[in-house]
Amino acid sequence: MRRALAPALLALSQIAAAQEPGVADRIQASIDLRERWQWLTRDIATPPDWDADGRRFHYRKTVEGGYAFVDVARDGGDKRPAFDAVALARALATLRGKPVDPLRLPFDAFDYADNRTAIVAQIEDDRVRCTLVQAVCTVVPPGPQPRPRGFGVVRDLRVPADNHPRLSPDKTLEALAVDHNLVVRAAGGGKEVWRSQDGSAGDFYDPETIAWSPDGRHLAVYRVRPGYPRMVTRVVSSPPGKVQPELVEQLYPKPGDAVDQERPVLFAVADGRRTDVADTLFPNPYHLSELTWRRDGRSVAFDYLRRGFGQARTIAVDAETGAAHVAASDDPATFVFRDRIFGHDVGGLGREIVQASERDGWRHLYLVDAATGKVKRRITKGSWTVRDIARVDDDRRRIWFSAGGYVPGQDPYYKQWFRVDFDGRNLTRLTHADATHELRFSPDMTRYVDVYSRTDLPETTELHDAADGRLIETLEQGDITRLTAAGFRPPERFTAKGRDGRTDIYGLVVRPRDFDPAKRYPVIENIYAGPHDSFVPKAFWPFGGFAGGDKVMGMQQLADLGFVVVQIDGIGTANRSKAFHDVAWKNLDDSGFPDRIAWIKALAARDPAVDATRVGIYGGSAGGQSTLNALLFHPDFYKAGVAYAGCFDNRMDKIDWNEQWLGWPVDQSYLDASGVVHAGKLQGKLMLVVGEQDSNVDPASTMQVADALIQAGKTFDLLVIPNGEHSAGRSSGPVPYAMKRQYDFFLRSLRGEGVADWNGPTSPRP
C-alpha cells in the first residue's frame, strides 16, 4: 500500500512545488501595484501655502509621471509653474550627488524667500535653500538650537542650553545664565547689573525660558529641578560600512519617571528683587508652557497641565506682587486631551480667553472672563465637535473653524468649515459639498482655498471669497480616469452599530480586484486604535504607508491576494463625543474591539462572501499593541496577526502618550493592557516585526513580549530589521522584505497557501 501511494504523493508534491512560484509571483505583483498605480492620477492637489503678504499661493498637484508645483494669484486667473523644475532638479542633484527627477522632487512643500527669488524646503534632515534666477542649492546652516528634551519633559543636560543673551525691549540690557544663575548686564557683554545667587546644577535658572516684560521692568524665568534622565541603550548590530557593532543612547523618559520641575520666578530689572510664585494653583505639573507677557506688562501667563492629564489651566501672575490666579480652567472627570488644548488671549491683554473645552460632552468654543476664570458665554453648541481653529480675529471678534458631525446624516468625520462671532451669533457655514474639506485662508482672511474629496471622489480645489463663500475659480479637478482603467475601485464605505446597538461605527471595505461574490474570503483588519485621533481615511488620496493604518493602497495590495481588508474607527478613538472618547481612558486593552467585531459580523451578515470565521489583523506601533491584544483577549474571533513595533507594555513606552491615556501614577490599568503580562493567553498565529533602532517605541518592548511568549511555551514568528527605525517593515521601501513576509504569513494562516521556499532559484526578486 505504501509503495502504491508513493508515486501519487510524489505527483502531488510536484504539483504543489509547481504552484509555489505562482504564489510568490502573486505576492510580488501585489508589492509592485503601488508603483504601477501611483502616477496615474492627474490634477489632485494638496492644500496650498500662502505668501506672507497674501498676494499669491502655491500648491503641489499630480501630473503625468509625478508632481508639479503651481503658483496662483490671490484672485485666481494667473496660474503658472512655481519654478523651473528641471533647473531646480539639476541644482539639487549637484548638491546631493545623485540624480533628481524634476517630476519627483524630494520635498512636498516649500516657502518662497528673498522676494520670491529663492525657495526654502526641508529635504530629509536638511533645510535647503535654492535660488531661482540661476538655480543653485545650498544647505542652510542651523541656527541656535534649544537643548533637547526627552518627550518634552526632561532636559538633556548632556547638551548645553542655548544661552545667547536675550535683549531687553529697549536693547540696552541683556539677560543670560552664568553658573546656573540669572545675570542682567549691559548689552553687548557690558557691565553686570546684578545676578541671582541661589542657582545650582540641581536647581538652575533656564536661560531658554527668559522672558522680558514689554516695558522692560520685569523678567520672568523658569527655575528647574531636573527630572530623571532615563537612557535607552540600543545595539547597532550592523552599522553601514563597519564591522563591529556600536552602541547608541537616547534620553527616553517612561511612565512614572520624575519629570523636570519648573517654577516661575519674577525679577525686578532695576534691582534684581526676586519674587517666587507660589505653586498652589499649579501643583504637580507635568508641563508648563512658555512664559508669555501680557501686552501691558502688568502680568505674565503660562499654561499648566497637571501630571496625570486630569486638569489644564491658564495661570496669570501679577508682575509686581507675584500673586497668581486661574484665568481659565478645564477640569474633566477623566482626562484633558493635550493635543486639543486651545486657549487664545483676546488682544493679548489677559481680559478674555477664547477656550476650547469638552465640558458639555462635545468639543466647543467658550468665551472666558480671564479675571475670574468663569465662562462668560458659549460661542458654539450642539451635538457636534469643533475640530481645527484656523483664526481668531480679536478686532472683528470672529472665529474661523472646522467641525464634524454638524450636518445630520453626513459622515461625522467629514470636516465642514464655519465662521462665528464671539457672542455665538452669525454662525456661517462656508463649505457645503458632501465631502471632507481642508481650507487654507489668506493672511487677511479675505480668500480661502478649499480642497475637498471623499474616498470615492477625487480632490477638487477651489478658490473662494471668504466674505460670502462665493466661488472665484475652480483651480483643479482631480482626474482618476487612468487609475480606474487600471483596475482601481474606491473602497466601500460601510456603517454598522457598535457594542451598544445604537452608536454608528464607520469603516472601509477593500475587496480583491477579481472579487467573486460566489466565493468566500477571509477578512483582515488594518488596525490603528490610538485614542489620539480617528484613522479611517475620509479624503481620496489612496497612496501612503503600507501598514501605517491610514491609507487605502496597502489594503488593496493585500486584498488582491484573496482577502477582504477592512479598517474601522471603534469607540475610544477621537473626533466624536467626549463619551465616545472616554472609553479609552485607562482602558487601552479595549481598542474598540467590541465595536470592531460587531461591525465585521454585520458586514458578513450582509455579504455572504465575507468569511467572519477566518479573521486576521495587522497594525503598527499602537496598532501593533492592538494586534497582539486581539489574539490575547479575543482569540475566538481573531485567528492571526502581524504586529509591527508595538508598544506592547505601556510601562516600557514613552511617557507622554502613555500617561495621557493611562494616567499617573502607574497602576493596574498598565498591567491590564500589557501583552507581556498576558502573553500566556495567546491563541492563533502571531508574527512580530521590530526595527532594531526604533527611537519611538523602545524595541525592548517587542523582545520582552517574545521572552514572555517563550516562557509560556507559545510559538510565533519574530522578524528583527537590522538598523530599522520605528517604521521599519511598514513601508514598501527599496526592499519590501517585511511586506513580503506579511503577505506570505496571512496566505498560510488564513488561506492555507503560502510560499514554501523564498530562496529557490525561481523566486521573484525585488
* Average pLDDT along the chain: 94
- Is residue 190's pLDDT more than 80? yes
What residues contact 519, with CB distance under 8 A and at least 6 apart?
609
Which pLDDT band, with edges at 50, 70 and 90, does 9 fall under? Answer: very low
Which pLDDT band, with edges at 50, 70 and 90, does 551 fall under? Answer: confident
Regarding predicted confidence, which is higher, 261 or 754? 261
Supply 46's cell numbers: 494638496
* DSSP track, 33-83: HHHHHTT--BS-BPPPEE-TTSSEEEEEEEETTEEEEEEEETTSS-EEESS
Q: Is 560 helix (H, G, I), strand (E, B) or coil?
A: coil
Cβ contact 694:730 at 8 Å: no
Strand partners of residue 687: 642, 717
Alpha helices in 100-233 (DSSP H): none
Closest CA to 749 of 624, 641, 636: 641
Q: What is the mean pLDDT of residues 545-550?
A: 40
- Is residue 16's pLDDT more than 90? no
Between β-strands 685-691 and 717-721, what pairing exists: parallel, antiparallel or unpaired?
A: parallel
Tens digit of pLDDT for each residue in 498-532? 999 999 999 999 999 999 999 999 999 999 999 99
Kind and range of the H or E run holding 708 = helix 700-711
Kind and range of the H or E run holding 177 = strand 173-178
Q: What is the mean pLDDT of residues 479-488?
A: 97
Cβ contact 553:37 at 8 Å: yes
Which pLDDT band, with edges at 50, 70 and 90, does 613 fall under? Answer: very high
Per-domain residue ranges for the chain? 2-37+491-751, 145-276
Cβ contact 445:391 at 8 Å: yes
Return the DSSP state at 347: G
Whether cis (ω within 30° of 0) applies to the bond prior to 81 is no
- Is residue 648's pLDDT more than 70? yes
Supply 562's cell numbers: 484573496
Supply 402's cell numbers: 472646522
Backbone φ and ψ for 422, nearest 5 degrees, come out as -55, -30
* Residues recorded for the chain: 766
Tens digit of pLDDT for each residue in 338-367? 999 999 999 999 999 999 999 999 999 999
Closest CA to 77 of 56, 100, 103, 48: 56
Amino acid identity, position 718: L
Q: For cell 499602537, what's the residue? A: 622
- Is residue 10's pLDDT more than 60? no
- Is residue 21's pLDDT more than 70? no
How are strands ordered across the β-sheet holding 447-454?
436-441, 447-454, 457-465, 471-477
Cα(577)–Cα(385) distance, integer angstroms: 7
Cβ contact 498:595 at 8 Å: yes
- Is residue 734's pLDDT more than 60? no
Report the pLDDT value the prediction gives residue 736, as an integer from 0 to 100: 82
Supply 495's cell numbers: 456603517
Strand partners of residue 610: 521
Backbone φ and ψ for 80, nearest 5 degrees, come out as -155, 165
- Is residue 182's pLDDT more than 70? yes
How are strands ordered across the β-sheet holding 428-429?
385-393, 398-404, 415-421, 428-429
Report the pLDDT value the prediction gives residue 15, as an integer from 0 to 100: 41
- Is residue 754's pLDDT more than 80? yes
Cα(189)–Cα(469) distance, integer angstroms: 55
Percent with pLDDT over 70 in the chain: 95
Report the pLDDT value the prediction gives residue 323, as an integer from 0 to 100: 98
* DSSP track, 497-529: E-TTSSSEEEEEEE--TT--TTS-EEEEEE---
Report the pLDDT value the prediction gives residue 731, as an integer from 0 to 100: 64
Cβ-in-10-Å burial (0-12, 13-18, 19+) of 113 comes to: middle
Q: For cell 542657582, what's the residue? A: 199
Cα(552)–Cα(565) distance, integer angstroms: 10
Tens digit of pLDDT for each residue in 192-203? 999 999 999 999
Q: For cell 501511494, what's the residue? A: 5
Supply 363's cell numbers: 468639543
- Is residue 390's pLDDT more than 50? yes
Cα(302)–Cα(317) distance, integer angstroms: 9
Report the pLDDT value the prediction gives residue 14, as an integer from 0 to 100: 42
Closest CA to 747 of 18, 97, 65, 19: 19
Q: What is the mean pLDDT of residues 405-424?
A: 98
Cα(33)–Cα(505) distance, integer angstroms: 30
Report the pLDDT value the prediction gives residue 261, as an integer from 0 to 100: 98
Task: Quickly name the fold that domain 2-37+491-751 has.
Answer: Rossmann fold (3.40.50)
* DSSP track, 685-706: EEEEEEETT-SSS-THHHHHHH
Of the given ranges (37-46, 60-69, 548-557), which has the lowest mean pLDDT? Answer: 548-557
Report the pLDDT value the prediction gives residue 544, as an integer from 0 to 100: 64
Q: What is the mean pLDDT of residues 591-616?
A: 98
Burial annotation 130-144 (CB, 10 A radius, 16+ → b, else e): bbbeebbbeeeeeee
Q: Residue 318 CB: number of other CB atoms within 10 A? A: 15
Supply 498's cell numbers: 457598535
Alpha helices in 291-421 (DSSP H): none
- Is residue 100's pLDDT more than 90? yes
Q: What is the mean pLDDT of residues 413-418?
A: 98
